A = this chain, B = another copy of it.
Amino acid sequence: MADGGANVVDPYSTNIETHLVVFTPSGIRGRFEAGTPILDAARSLGVDIDSVCGGRGICGRCQVNLVEGKFAKHGLTSSSDSLSPFAEAEDKFRERRGLKVGRRLSCHATLEADAVIDVPSSSQVHKQVIVKDLDDRKIEMDPAIRLHYVTVQEPDMHNPTGDFERLCMALEQQWGLTGLECDLRTLQSLQKALRKGEWSVTVAVHRELRITAIWSGFHSAAYGLAVDVGSTTIAMHLCDLSTGNVLATSGMMNPQIRFGEDLMSRVSYVMMNPGGEEVLTKIVRDGINKLIKNVTTSAGIDPMDVLNAVFVGNPIMHHLLLGIDPTELGGAPFALTTNTGLTVWATELDLDSNPDGRVYFLPCIAGHVGADTTAVILSEAPHLQEKVTLIVDVGTNAELVLGNNQRMLTASSPTGPAFEGAQIACGQRAAPGAIERVRIDPNTLKSRFKVIGCDLWSDEPGFKEEISAFGVTGICGSGIIEALAEMYLAGILTTDGVIDGSQVDSNPYIVPEGRTFAFVMHENAESPIKVYQTDVRAIQLAKAALHAGAKLLMDRFGVETVDRILLTGAFGSHIDIKYAMILGMIPDCDLEEVKAIGNAAGVGARIALLNQNARDEAEELIRQVEKIETAIEPGFQQYFIDAMALPHKTEKYENLSKEVTLPTPRVSGGENNLEGARRRRRRRQ
């Protein structure tokens, strides 16, 4: 931008012809001399208009619309004569890049009479962008990396200074940036860039502190990555740092899975194999590099233009990504290396993006509560609401967040891997062929089900053909929840969680299994799919741990009930909330206020990528969050025992069970939503 040339004119001065300009939607107004560029007028009034090229008619970020008509409220008439005719730069820009009808480049259109100027959202620096599809969560753009086009004074023997010093002078004069430092690689390419660009260059500035990249001439491409590194899957979004748009998404199984499905077996691998952490670090970084290749190829962009990234993950993934041995997280007292947010160089992580790109890690909260939970908090912002929210992220551990704008608590509950289909006889990871939906006829006890990879119920025509490629291979985590809840509703399970053997002789689906009984869900598979008494016990333990953790937090917070429950993570998205409540996994809550929120950690990572203040906010918040360690809480054990019963008895659950056991199968609205979320999730991977 020009160096603040436009000042608001003193309206009482009669010597100078001035015109009124009103900017919408802000309503900010001021009087300026005829001939003042609209961008200068906007800047001097503090109206938020973007510009990378600094008013040179190159970047096209400062587009505005002239609004014509009489505006009694503002006491002015705005007409096509209010602005100067199209400037040469505007014509050139229109030829080269196109310009919508009515649009002007505010850096070249000048004020010639009273005018009303609309600044479209896309022209605002701090525009609002939607970062969350489910509830249209918006965030203000304020990325940590910004590009600035500057024209630098040529060197002069009469006044010798370094090229870097002249660059800094230009950045101060043209962009108000002071005291900048510079990465060595940028310094190494500085002189060539300046001369190739004929003394005009674009620089990337990180957090208004340090120049991290330089290009000769005008450069407008700046991208960022939001990466959620889970123990099972890694998901990456490539975002445009100017619009906030997601340009490409890619996901993969975490390649560390070959060292163990669950995190603790990976920690064991490290403990038993000296240097094993380096192997695990390399393999996950390699995986991330594959995703970088995927998203940059898919979006058709240069990986060198990836200038920023935000990583979130559980503490063990967080440590391994950073090349930190996670052994300490494998046993009490589960000490994190750090619970502060960290910024490192892309090159320090061996990433195949710009080596001087900065990678930000959101802070972990405690030994079991990671940066992914921090990201979930950023996404859902329970700390900004009066309602008391419980957020549940179920994996091998359940991470729990409880709180509101007064107080925030977190804990991790040792659910074990039962919810992920492990420790279940016919259990399996969510994959094609796994049963994920179950209905049991309370009269015949015959099961109907759906498997992942097929939209038909098992009793619908064509089911067999559609699943022929993979068959019915097992039950996934959400499937086992439904199976147990339906078994309970059909009277197969007692409230103590015992498979009732009274019909063993009369019903083909109840079969003896040692001293206990099993329920046959599907007999036509290669090996029949049954629910055993041990499976019920495993789920009972897991759900009791989850429930007890939530109760403990509520007890500490001093509430009997919560206003809102959010289920996040893969499991949380796939589970039918009603069944979770029937089993007593989560505390009492109005069913309307229980929601699956999909991959909130990924959303939180995007928020931290697009808005630098969100990082500081998260770090500050994490310092204040009360960290509850269930393992050493005296009350936890009693809550745990109390929560073993199935279902947990309350009137609400009684009503709920009636509502759910409708005689005919149906696809509820809620289920539709979850399916939608799941599809979206699959597309991303």
* Stretch from A8-16, A41-49, A327-335, A419-427 contacting the other chain: A327-335
A338-B162 in contact given A322-B187, A322-B188, A325-B191 (Cβ < 8 Å): yes
Stretch at the interface among A445-453, A578-586, A624-632: A624-632
- A563 at the A/B interface (Cβ < 8 Å)? no
Query: How many protomers of this protein does the assembly include?
Result: 2
Closest CB of chain B to A203's CB: distance in Å?
14
A344 within 8 A of B: yes
Bound Cα distance A184, B335 (Å):
18
Which of A153-161, A591-599, A642-650 sits within the interface? A153-161
> A280 contacts the other chain (Cβ, under 8 Å)?
no
* Option from B324, B348, B629 in Cβ contact (under 8 Å) with A157: B629
Task: Number of A interface residues at 8 Å Cβ cutoff, please give it.
Answer: 43
Measured CA separation A164–B324 after assembly (Å): 13
Query: Could you tell me the distance between the alpha carbons of A161 and B344 in the complex, rounded to whole angstroms?
Result: 21
Known: A157-B332, A332-B157. A187 touches B631 (CB 8 A): no
CB < 8 Å neighbour of A191 from B158, B162, B324: B324
| Cβ–Cβ contact A163 & B322, under 8 A | no
A339 within 8 A of B: yes
Looking at the assembled complex, report how far the CB atom of A582 sits from the nearest CB atom of chain B, in whole angstroms: 34
Closest to A343 in B: B181
Instruction: Please give, as numbers and ranges, the residues of chain B lying within 8 Å of A156 by CB-CB distance.
Output: 333
For residue A634, give the distance in angstroms from its CB to the closest CB of chain B: 12
Q: Say how far A359's CB is from chain B's closest CB, in angstroms.
A: 10
Task: Tell me if A323 counts as interface (CB < 8 A to partner B).
Answer: yes
CB-CB under 8 A for A367 and B322, given A165-B339, A328-B191, A337-B191: no
Closest B residue by C-beta to A364 = B162
Question: Is A612 positioned at the interface, with any CB of B under 8 Å from its CB?
Answer: no
A338 contact from B164, B323, B344, B629, Cβ within 8 A: B164
* A325 surroundings in chain B (CB, below 8 A): 188, 191-192
Q: Which residue of B lies closest to A323 (CB)?
A: B188
Contact with B along A359-372 (1 / 0, CB 8 A): 00000101100000
CB-based contact B184/A322 at 8 Å: yes
Q: For residue A164, which residues in chain B have a CB less than 8 angstroms away from its CB?
A: 337-338, 340
Decide yes or no whether A601 CB sits under 8 A from chain B: no
Restricting to A295-336, which residues have a CB under 8 Å from any CB of B? 322-325, 327-328, 332-336
- Within 8 Å CB of A340, what residues of B? 162, 164-165
On whether A337 and B163 interact (CB within 8 A), knowing A184-B323, A324-B188, the answer reads yes
Known: A158-B632, A160-B627, A366-B160. A187 touches B324 (CB 8 A): yes
Residue of A335, A340, A344, A631 contacting most chain B CB atoms (<10 Å): A335
Contacts of A323 in B (CB 8 A): 184, 188
Q: How far is the CA of A161 from the CA of B339 in the complex (A)?
A: 6
- Known A157-B629, A323-B188, A631-B157; judge A165-B338 contact (CB<8 A): yes
A2 to B587 alpha-carbon distance, docked (Å):
50
In the complex, A654 Cα to B158 Cα: how many Å?
A: 38
Q: A188 — which chain B residues lie within 8 A by C-beta?
A: 322-325
Residues on the B chain within 8 Å of A163, using CB: 328, 335-338
Are B192 and A629 touching (Cβ within 8 A)? no
A322 cross-chain contacts in B, Cβ below 8 A:
184, 187-188
The complex places the Cα of A158 from the Cα of B158 at a distance, in Å, of: 66
Q: Does A391 contact B (CB under 8 A)?
A: no
Given contacts A165-B340, A184-B323, is CB(A191)–CB(B160) below 8 Å? Answer: no
Query: What are 6 A-B residue pairs whose CB atoms fall within 8 Å in the complex?
Result: A154-B333, A155-B333, A160-B335, A160-B627, A160-B629, A163-B337
13 extra A-B contacts, CB within 8 A, seeds A157-B629, A163-B338, A191-B327: A154-B333, A158-B629, A160-B629, A162-B336, A163-B328, A165-B339, A184-B323, A184-B342, A184-B344, A184-B348, A187-B324, A187-B342, A188-B322
Nearest 4 CB-CB pairings of A with B: A155-B335, A164-B338, A162-B338, A162-B339
| Partner-B contacts on A (CB < 8 A) | 154-158, 160-165, 182, 184, 187-188, 190-192, 322-325, 327-328, 332-340, 342, 344, 348, 364, 366-367, 627, 629, 631-632
